[in-house]
């Protein structure tokens, strides 16, 4: 796991990213960012909405959706594709990384070891495609949930 030097530092980095791409850090956006920073699980927009509303009661759900889409576009968070097809997001830490997701508590571990790169290269050669990205998600149960039975 990469060392995060506190949520404040991460927040500053996110603010810089937004600014660098010409976006203002409005109060509603800030409430959304504060609701997700430091959370190692994945979350649905509705959950982010509930949490962010505690610091910014006038927040609208549409703003949450738009802010999450924006953060995803900037590569700060990423989509998680759950079995039941609902839309979730999690914090993104590395450029090439994959996710190990606990089905019970929702905890997400990122990992970067991946044997797909060779396959991707071979496939690109064979098909002539320029392959630019791939996703891999593993679902299971985390040690804490296994102990809890």
Q: In the complex, which residues of this chain contact Zn ion (CB under 5 A)?
A: 102, 104-105, 107, 114, 116, 142, 145
Considering beta carbons, is residue 105 or 139 the nearer one to Zn ion?
105
Considering beta carbons, is residue 25 or 116 the nearer one to Zn ion?
116
In terms of Cα–Cα distance, which of 116, 114, 112 is closest to 94? 112
Q: How far is the CB of 92 from Zn ion (least distance, A)?
A: 14
Rounded to the nearest 5 degrees, what angle is found at the Cα of 6, between the Cα atoms of 19 and 134? 65
Helices (H), 21-94: 27-36, 45-52, 61-73
Considering beta carbons, is residue 62 or 131 the nearer one to Zn ion?
131
Is 105 annotated to bind ligand?
yes
Q: How far is the CB of 15 from Zn ion (least distance, A)?
A: 29
Nearest residue by C-beta to Zn ion? 114
Is 42 annotated to bind ligand?
no
Q: Give the integer Cα–Cα distance in Å for 120 and 145.
A: 34
Is 86 annotated to bind ligand?
no
Q: Give the integer Cα–Cα distance in Å for 80 and 77.
A: 10
Is 114 annotated to bind ligand?
no
Phi, psi torsion values for 91, nearest 5 degrees: -65, 140
Sequence ranges of the binding site? 96, 102, 105, 134, 142, 145
């Amino acid at each position: 796991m990469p060392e995060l030097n506190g949520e404040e530092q991460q927040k500053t980095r996110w603010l810089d990213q937004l600014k660098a791409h010409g976006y203002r850090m409005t109060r509603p956006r800030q409430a959304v960012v504060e609701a997700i920073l430091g959370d190692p699980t994945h979350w649905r927009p509705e959950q982010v909405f509930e949490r962010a509303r505690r610091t910014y009661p006038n927040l609208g759900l549409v703003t949450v959706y738009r802010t999450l889409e924006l953060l995803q576009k900037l590569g700060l968070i990423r989509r998680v594709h759950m079995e039941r097809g609902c839309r979730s997001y999690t914090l993104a830490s590395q450029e090439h990384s994959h996710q190990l997701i606990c089905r019970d508590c929702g905890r997400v571990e990122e990992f970067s070891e991946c044997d797909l790169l060779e396959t991707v290269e071979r496939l690109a050669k064979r098909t002539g495609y320029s392959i630019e990205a791939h996703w891999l998600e593993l679902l299971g149960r985390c040690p804490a949930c296994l102990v809890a039975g």
